[in-house]
Structure 1
Amino acid sequence: MVETVTLYRAPTTPADADAIADWLRDRVAAEVRVRDRLLGAPDDSDVLAEALAAARVTDPYDPETGNTMVGIVRYEERALSAPERAGGVVYDGQAVGRALNARLPDRQGLDHLHVPLLDRVLGTWGDHDGRWHKRVAVLGQPSLISVPGLYEAPAKPEAYYEAKSKHAMLTGDAPPREVLEAEIEGDFLVADDPRTTDALKGYVLAAVAFVETGTAFCDDERCRLYDAHRQPGVVRAQLRDPEFCEAHAERYG
């Protein structure tokens, strides 16, 4: 049974860890705490920088990761001290989880779950199709929640990709993201979306459910614990009523 949940802030994102913690307190029996970035800059930041460099996905179709050349490690060091400079990189979520596990301030066991909100894009390797997949959540100890993954991992509406392809055919260039987001109707989340905090609540609860029950997600697409693979599904599960399916409403509602 999880007795304590510690959330970690991602200050370069619109995700409000304190608001998520308040919501979680009403739904779980555990004590819920909030701390500053787990990707902060303690004395071993050089060790973490090298671990992040080793976790970089360098080819979407190659399971091997990592580029620990001096310049890449220096970039990761700068990104740890100035996180607003990070971006454009996908990391092996399981490797990042192992690196962060060694930095946890309380490592007594799974009764104290650590859930860092991260400003990095995380992925997991798919043996079934031989490529990397971006993820919103990579669960374990700690359970990682990728804020940019919320915008990038679930697929956008088909009209988004059709408009992108049409623009490229006419101009030879990819259209600016802002143009596409303004032109396409439909429910999907965009970078720095004001709905980010609300949309992440179900993923944080899934991290607790995973440790307590061994099952993180729900099959009911109307439930916050539904693991949607498309953006309209994320909006429906996280931002529309009902909040939970009947079974999870009994447990968390």
Structure 2
Amino acid sequence: MVDRVTIYGAPTTSTDADAIADWLRDRTAATVTVGGRFLESVSTGDLAERFAAARVRSPSDRATGNTMLGTIRYEERVLEDPDRGGGVLYDGRAIQRALNAALPDEPGLEHLRVALLDRALGTWGDHDGRWHKRVNVLGQPSLVSVPGLYEAPAKPEAYYKEQQRHALLSGDTPPREVLENRIDGAFLLEDDPRTTEALKGYVLQAVHYLETGEAFCPREGCRLYNAHYHETLIESQLRPPEFCEEHAPLYAPES
């Protein structure tokens, strides 16, 4: 039984951890609090090296890690100043293990930590032999990747068609900003004003997993659904109703 939930903010992103906590309080019986930046609260001597070891080398290479001194120094700088990071994909499970080991107390299930991170996280797909970006990695602590919200789900077909059209005409890949301006509103952008609202369901998924052992809901349109496309992400997280018939009795607030 999850008695306490602490949500840790990601100051370098456009997320409001307090708003997420308020929303969660109306939908769970747990005591919900907000902490600071998670990577500051669990900082240990080897955390930079653990991040370096979790770096994904290539989309189709299962092996991870670059623990050369320069890479470790980079990770140390990013831990101290997160604005200096970006463009790196990490093995989400390896990061979760590192942060679990760094928790200040015995990491039981009664007190769930949910860390909103400004890092891109992935998990390895045995079915297709490549890394997949993820919005969240469930467990203790649960990790929610804010960049993953924009990058993990596939974008609308029109986005890729415009990308191909531009490549045929100019011979190169268009800047992301160009495509985002041409295909408006069909997916979430970096620093999107809908970010906080969309992340509420992903935080609830973390609570639901520890409470029930169920990772995700299979029904599109439910906040607990694991969307693989931006269209279904928007449908599940930003449009009513919030929950399917099975999960509404558990989480829909009383009117």
- The answer for unaligned runs of 5 or more in structure 1 is none
Query: What residue is the counterpart of 1:6 in the other structure?
Result: 6
Is contact 2:42-2:102 (8 Å) kept? Answer: no
Q: Read off the aligned partner of 2:110 and give its amino acid letter.
A: D
TM-score normalised over the length of structure 1:
0.97
Query: What residue is the counterpart of 1:85 in the other structure?
Result: 84
Query: What residue is the counterpart of 1:55 in the other structure?
Result: 54
1:109-143 C-alpha deviation (Å, 9 max, x unpaired): 10111100000000000011100000001111101
Query: What residue is the counterpart of 1:69 in the other structure?
Result: 68
Query: What residue is the counterpart of 1:220 in the other structure?
Result: 219
3-state secondary structure, aligned to 1:216: coil
In the alignment, the residues of structure 1 paired with residue 47 and residue 206 of structure 2 have an alpha-carbon distance, to the nearest angstrom, of 23
Larger mean Cα displacement after TM superposition, 185-194 or 138-147: 185-194
Larger mean Cα displacement after TM superposition, 52-61 or 105-114: 105-114
Structure-2 change in CA distance of 1:192 and 1:243 (3 Å):
same
In the alignment, the residues of structure 2 paired with residue 43 and residue 94 of structure 1 have an alpha-carbon distance, to the nearest angstrom, of 18
Is contact 1:138-1:145 (8 Å) kept? Answer: yes
In the alignment, the residues of structure 2 paired with residue 179 and residue 239 of structure 1 have an alpha-carbon distance, to the nearest angstrom, of 25
3-state secondary structure, aligned to 2:38: coil
In the alignment, the residues of structure 1 paired with residue 103 and residue 24 of structure 2 have an alpha-carbon distance, to the nearest angstrom, of 21
In the alignment, the residues of structure 2 paired with residue 181 and residue 33 of structure 1 have an alpha-carbon distance, to the nearest angstrom, of 35
Query: 1:1-253 residue pairs with structure 2 within 5 A?
Result: 1-40=1-40, 44=44, 46-253=45-252
Structure-2 change in CA distance of 1:231 and 1:251 (3 Å):
same
In the alignment, the residues of structure 2 paired with residue 130 and residue 248 of structure 1 have an alpha-carbon distance, to the nearest angstrom, of 33
The two structures, once aligned, show a CA RMSD in angstroms of 1.2
- The answer for unaligned runs of 5 or more in structure 2 is none
In the alignment, the residues of structure 2 paired with residue 170 and residue 108 of structure 1 have an alpha-carbon distance, to the nearest angstrom, of 55
In the alignment, the residues of structure 1 paired with residue 121 and residue 49 of structure 2 have an alpha-carbon distance, to the nearest angstrom, of 16
Q: How far has the Cα of 1:102 moved from its partner?
A: 1.7
1:12-66 C-alpha deviation (Å, 9 max, x unpaired): 001111100000000001101111111127662x411000000000011111100
TM-score normalised over the length of structure 2:
0.96
Is contact 1:157-1:186 (8 Å) kept? Answer: no
1:67-108 C-alpha deviation (Å, 9 max, x unpaired): 000000000001111101110000000000011112223325
| Count of aligned residue pairs for this structure pair | 252
3-state secondary structure, aligned to 1:187: coil
In the alignment, the residues of structure 1 paired with residue 172 and residue 146 of structure 2 have an alpha-carbon distance, to the nearest angstrom, of 27
